[in-house]
Structure 1
Amino acid sequence: MSRGAAARSPCLACELADGRAELPGGTVLRTALWTVEHCVGPLGVGTLVVKPLRHVTGVHELTGAEAAELGPLLSRVSGAVREVVEDCEQVYVCLWSHAGRVPGHLHFVVQPARTADLDRHDAYGPALQTAQFAAGEAPEPGAVAEVCERLRGLPV
């Protein structure tokens, strides 16, 4: 069982973090409190998830140490995405923590807003994410592995 896990429904975020589920690209970065992984959904190559190793469902549940590490970590990860992902106009950072309308494992999505994606979907911001989910196209595993390897090479 993952850190902080109690008797509850299976948690994909915990399963990805502790190796019970396949994680395309592998772990990009892990600290004592947080992990950074490539998103397993259709949000495009270079979209990362920053999540606490401990299962929590809201920012209000973070410990002082987790909260203190969060801001600098999101800043570094966003900068790395901007540096590694070609055609990146902006980096979106948003909090997600629902699964089936039930609060789930807290995670921050760090998504490159690439010109090609903005043009293809004729959308930006939350509308881009909605369009990408509607299209349902997961990134090519080889491209995910390549971008993760490039990100691991940076001082994140």
Structure 2
Amino acid sequence: MTDPATQLHSDCLACQILTGAQPVPGGTIAENPWWVADHCVGPYGLGSVVLKPRAHRENLWELSVAESASLGPFLQQLSEAIALAMEAERVYVSLWVDQPPYHVHFVLQPRYPDGHNPHELGLKGLELQVFRTLSPPPSEAEMATAAERIRAVWQQKFAAGLPCQS
């Protein structure tokens, strides 16, 4: 019998992206047997990546042992790939599960050094999050280019199982 928690939901945006029913600019950036990463659609900043489990999971406590065990290393790899590809000073990691039909996903957002993106006014933390939410999202072409840059670093450095710098 199939576990209902692993079934994809047709009304879930994350599940639609996983099945290809909803395309994302730049496509899949990185993946492993349990997790898939692609560029975040919306006003979260250029180079922001969404990491979601392949199975529809509404809560962290629903993750399988394998999903949980692979999450930490994959977050570490993705955050380093984003930092290197996008020349970010920091990468914020947030968990979002706020909209029905709830699908666990992490948002990894690069924060750039002061002066790198002058329109962000050197903002950090919550102020930067609010500012980006009120700003127009990156264009599809910009998202696709950022996704390719991050994917290239991830493939070169981690697809072969190489360790992170730290």
**Are residues 1:150 and 2:149 paired?**
yes
Structure 1 residue aligned with 2:60: 59
Aligned Cα root-mean-square deviation (Å): 2.1
Letter in 2 for 1:68: A
Identify which range, 68-77 or 11-20, moves more after superposition: 11-20
TM-score, normalising length: structure 2: 0.81
Deviation at 1:98, TM superposition (A): 0.7
Deviation at 1:24, TM superposition (A): 0.9
1:42-77: per-residue Cα shift (whole Å, max 9, x none)? 111110011101011111110000000000000000
Structure 2 residue aligned with 1:31: 32
Letter in 2 for 1:93: V
**In 1, are the aligned partners of 2:86 and 2:110 still within 8 Å (CA)?**
yes
> After TM superposition, where is structure 1 displaced by more than 3 Å over at least 4 residues in a row?
115-119
Which has the greater radius of gyration?
2
Listed as ranges, the gaps of 5+ residues in structure 2 are 159-166
- Between the two proteins, the alignment pairs up a number of residues equal to 149
Deviation at 1:103, TM superposition (A): 6.3
Determine which of 83, 102, 105 is the counterpart of 1:104.
102
Identify which range, 140-149 or 21-30, moves more after superposition: 140-149
**In 2, are the aligned partners of 1:48 and 1:109 still within 8 Å (CA)?**
yes
Task: Judging by fraction of residues, say which structure has more strand.
Answer: 1
Listed as ranges, the gaps of 5+ residues in structure 1 are none
Structure 2 Cα separation of the partners of residues 76 and 109 of structure 1:
14
Identity among equivalent positions (%) equals 37
Structure 2 Cα separation of the partners of residues 16 and 9 of structure 1:
10
Structure 2 residue aligned with 1:141: 140
Letter in 1 for 2:150: L
Letter in 1 for 2:120: R
Structure 2 residue aligned with 1:127: 127
1:110-147: per-residue Cα shift (whole Å, max 9, x none)? 11012345862563213322221122x11122221112
Determine which of 1, 4, 7 is the counterpart of 2:6.
4
TM-score, normalising length: structure 1: 0.86
